[in-house]
């Protein structure tokens, strides 16, 4: 991956846990190299968020780039890449709206991309701003609220539940 132009790039990297520690093999040369599937490019502009356009307007919407484990939402079944280990999407909330992050059998990470959120943590409200994250354990149900005056964009990552735990 390389940034193009003079602007800074903020990259959120998600590893889907498909390999054990210490067994990675880095191949050099022109390839092709063996792979379960080729790289799949899914552009944000090609996703049609439910309830609105993806233009950043005030209406709430959700998109899914990677359709994850059972219980993880898939708002774009025709476009989302399939992966049983991790689901990745984004939800936008208008001011005053809330987002329930119900337990789905695995941990969930919610990263604020734009706007400000409020979440109940340890008995009191806590504010989250851009690039702040909330990690919810498998059984926990978490709720984020947009208490700001601008749309709140939240990137979510759902992990598959672990066997026996």
pLDDT in tens, 37-68: 566 788 888 886 644 434 444 568 889 998 88
Judge whether 97 lies within some domain: yes
Judge whether 124 lies within some domain: yes
SS3 45: helix
Judge whether 153 lies within some domain: yes
Judge whether 27 lies within some domain: no
The structure's pTM equals 0.75
pLDDT tens-digit series, residues 121-138 = 667 788 999 999 988 877
Judge whether 70 lies within some domain: yes
Contact assessment for residue 101 and residue 72, using Cβ atoms and an 8 Å cutoff: no
**CATH number of the domain bearing residue 147:** 2.60.120.10
Cis amide bond preceding 107, omega within 30: no
Range of the domain at 151: 44-159
List Cα–Cα distances, 149 to 21, 37, 87, 98, in angstroms. 44, 42, 29, 13
The dihedral over CA atoms of 121, 67, 16, 109, expressed in degrees to the nearest 10, equals: -10
Q: Which residue has the tokens 């390389």?
A: 2
């Amino acid at each position: 991956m390389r940034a193009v132009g003079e602007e800074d790039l903020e990259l959120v990297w998600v590893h889907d846990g498909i390999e054990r520690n210490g067994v990675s093999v880095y191949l050099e040369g022109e390839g092709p190299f063996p792979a379960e599937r080729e790289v799949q490019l899914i552009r944000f502009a090609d996703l049609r968020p439910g309830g609105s356009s993806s233009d950043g307007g005030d209406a709430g919407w959700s998109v899914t780039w990677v359709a994850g484990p059972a219980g993880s939402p898939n708002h774009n079944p025709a476009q989302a890449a399939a992966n049983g280990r991790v689901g990745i999407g984004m939800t936008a909330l208008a001011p005053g709206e809330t987002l329930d992050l119900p337990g789905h059998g695995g941990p969930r990470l919610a990263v604020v991309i734009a706007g400000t959120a409020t979440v109940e943590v340890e008995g009191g409200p806590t504010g989250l701003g851009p690039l702040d994250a909330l990690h919810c354990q498998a059984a926990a149900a978490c709720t984020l609220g947009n208490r700001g005056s601008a749309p709140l964009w939240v990137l979510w990552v759902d992990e598959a539940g672990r066997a026996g735990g």
